[in-house]
Amino acid sequence: MTSATLEMPAAQNVKSTPNALAQELATVSVLVRRDLLRFFREKSRLVGALAQPLLFWLVIGSGMAGTFRLPGAESVGYLEYFFPGIVLMVVLFAAIFTTMSVIDDRHEGFLQAVLVAPGSRGALVTGKVLGSSAVALLQAALFVALAPLAGFSYAAIAWLPLVLVLVLIALALTALGFALAWWLDSSAAYHVVMGMLLIPLWVLSGAMFPASASQPMLAMVMRVNPVSYAAAALRGSLYGGTVPGTAILGGGIPMQITVVALFAATALATAIVVCYRKR
């Protein structure tokens, strides 16, 4: 091996000075393609993405079925009630796991190469958030396809708001996950925040159980929790607009989607600021 001569070819047509926007778009595209390549590379992840929430839905669903009663709509069983919650859980877990990897990736992984390249940190955050969201949405789509099992018919579903709210909550949760991962810079700390903040955001969103008027504290927490609006809009879309039972959140689907959009914009802005501030 050592006898071989080392010929370094003159770099022709390699140096380029693309404009700033092209550079930023290329950086975003690299990060999205990378997350998708990784996702489709691992078949076990595809199976896990469907099997784990399905199991969770069926086990918790049947366990709760006996005692669950939706105020104002006694005909709705728990499996039906819990279905949009599970879709949200799929998005949340995908967001958590794809952004947790940022902690290692930044010090001993691909993101090091992105950080020294000409693209900005803003493009890095945008690309990573879009890539993670795409993975989360692919997983959620697999589960949404099972909607008829929960009693929802494809024909009745309001698809446009359903897709819109899923895209926005995926962006919001991955951006939030990214901001936390970059800021905390420690897997142990991230696990704590996941248990203390991220999972509770989901549990207290109406995903698992509805708030009733008899629990004013809980109802208030749900009202200030932005994830509740995603849960409500998702539920509403699955029913094609009219949700059975008394809703704790006022406003219709457009208002709920607006809240989720604001949540996504705030989380993305926070993630970008954190990435610039914390070296």
Using CB under 8 A, pick the residue from 16, 67, 75, 242 that binds another protein. 16
SS (H, E, C) 141-208: HHHHCCHHHHCCCCCCCCHHHHHHHHHHHHHHHHHHHHHHHHHHCCHHHHHHHHHHHHHHHHHHHHHC
Beta carbons of 59 and 228 less than 8 angstroms apart: no
Query: In angstroms, rounded to a whole number, what is the distance separating the alpha carbons of residues 223 and 191?
Result: 26
With CB under 8 A as the contact rule, the residue among 4, 188, 196, 224 that binds another protein is 4
Answer yes or no: are the C-beta atoms of 171 and 268 closer than 8 Å: yes
- Residue selected from 42, 51, 192, 220 as contacting another protein according to rule CB under 8 A: 42
Distance in Å, CB of 23 to another protein, minimum: 6
For residues 111 and 137, which CB has a smaller minimum distance to another protein in the complex?
A: 111
Nearest-approach distance from CB 34 to another protein, in angstroms: 6
260 binds another protein (CB under 8 A): no
**Residue 2 within binding range of another protein, rule CB under 8 A:** yes
Q: Tell me the three state secondary structure of residue 226.
A: helix
Q: Can you spell out the DSSP letters for 206-221?
A: IISS---TT-HHHHHH
Q: Which stretch binds another protein (CB under 8 A): 20-28, 67-75, 164-172, 196-204?
A: 20-28
Q: How far is the CB of 42 from another protein (least distance, A)?
A: 7
Interaction pattern, residues 86-125, with another protein; x per rule: CB under 8 A: ---------------------xxxxxxxxxxxxxx-----
Residue 66 lies near another protein (rule: CB under 8 A)? no
By the rule CB under 8 A, 8 interacts with another protein? yes
Query: Measured from the CB atom, is 24 or 80 closer to another protein?
Result: 24
Give the end-to-end CA distance of the chain in Å, rounded to a whole number: 41
Minimum distance, C-beta of residue 83 to another protein, in the bound complex (Å) = 32
How many whole angstroms from its chain centre is CA 133? Answer: 6
What's the rounded Cα separation, in Å, for the pair 30 and 175?
18
Residues contributing to the site for another protein (CB under 8 A): 1-2, 4, 6-11, 13-18, 20, 22-23, 26-27, 29-30, 33-34, 37-38, 41-42, 107-120, 279
